[in-house]
Amino acid sequence: MKKYERSMKEKMLLKLEKEKLVKSNANLEITKKTLEDKITKEFGETEDEIKSRSEMNKSKSKSSMKAKFTPFPEENRQNPFRDLNFDKKDCTTLIESKRLKGHKSAITAMSLHPKKSIVATASDDHTW
C-alpha cells in the first residue's frame, strides 16, 4: 500500500510541475510576442525580418564558437618524448617573470619544459 501511495504522490507532483512549466512557457511566449511587436513598432521590422536576423546571428555565433575552440588531440597519437628521461626541476628556485591571462576557465593541467623556460597549460575552456 505504501508503494502505491508513494507512486501516486510522485505522479501528482510531476503533474503539478508539468502544469507550472506549461504556464511558465506560455508567459514566456507572451513576453516574446510583446517584445517582437514593440520592435516592429519602433524599427518597422516585420516578424520575418526579425526571425531571419536572429537566425543569421545564431549561425554567426555558432561559426565563431567553432573557430574559437582548439580541438583535443587524438587519443591514439604517439608521444615523441615518452622514452626520454629528464632531470627533475627544483621548483623552489622558480620565479614569476610574466603573467599572462589566456584562459577563461579553470586551468586543469600544467607542464614545465625540462630544459627551457616554457610552461604549457590546458583549461576547461578547450584551449591549451
Residue at which a domain ends, from 16, 44, 68: 68
> What's the rounded mean pLDDT across residues 49-55?
71
- pTM of the entire predicted model: 0.32
Q: Are residues 45 and 75 in the same domain?
A: no
Q: Are residues 43 and 83 in the same domain?
A: no
> What's the rounded mean pLDDT across residues 54-61?
66
Which residue, 86, 90, 81, is CA-closest to 115? 86
Which residue, 108, 101, 112, is CA-closest to 123? 108
Band (64; pLDDT cuts 50, 70, 90): low
Q: Are residues 60 and 77 in the same domain?
A: no
Residue at which a domain ends, from 27, 51, 68: 68
Number of domains in the chain: 2
* Confidence at residue 42, expressed as pLDDT on a 0 to 100 scale: 74
Q: 47 is in which domain, residue-wise?
A: 2-68
Q: Are residues 88 and 121 in the same domain?
A: yes
- Mean pLDDT (the chain) is 78
> What's the rounded mean pLDDT across residues 52-78?
66
Cell numbers 622514452 correspond to what residue?
A: 83
Band (41; pLDDT cuts 50, 70, 90): confident
Q: Are residues 102 and 116 in the same domain?
A: yes
Q: Are residues 59 and 29 in the same domain?
A: yes
- For β-strands 119-123 and 107-112, DSSP reports them as antiparallel
Residue at which a domain ends, from 25, 53, 68: 68
Grid cell, residue 57, equals 546571428
Q: Are residues 58 and 17 in the same domain?
A: yes
The percentage of the chain sitting over the pLDDT mark of 70, rounded to a whole number, equals 83
Q: Are residues 23 and 60 in the same domain?
A: yes
Grid cell, residue 11, equals 505522479
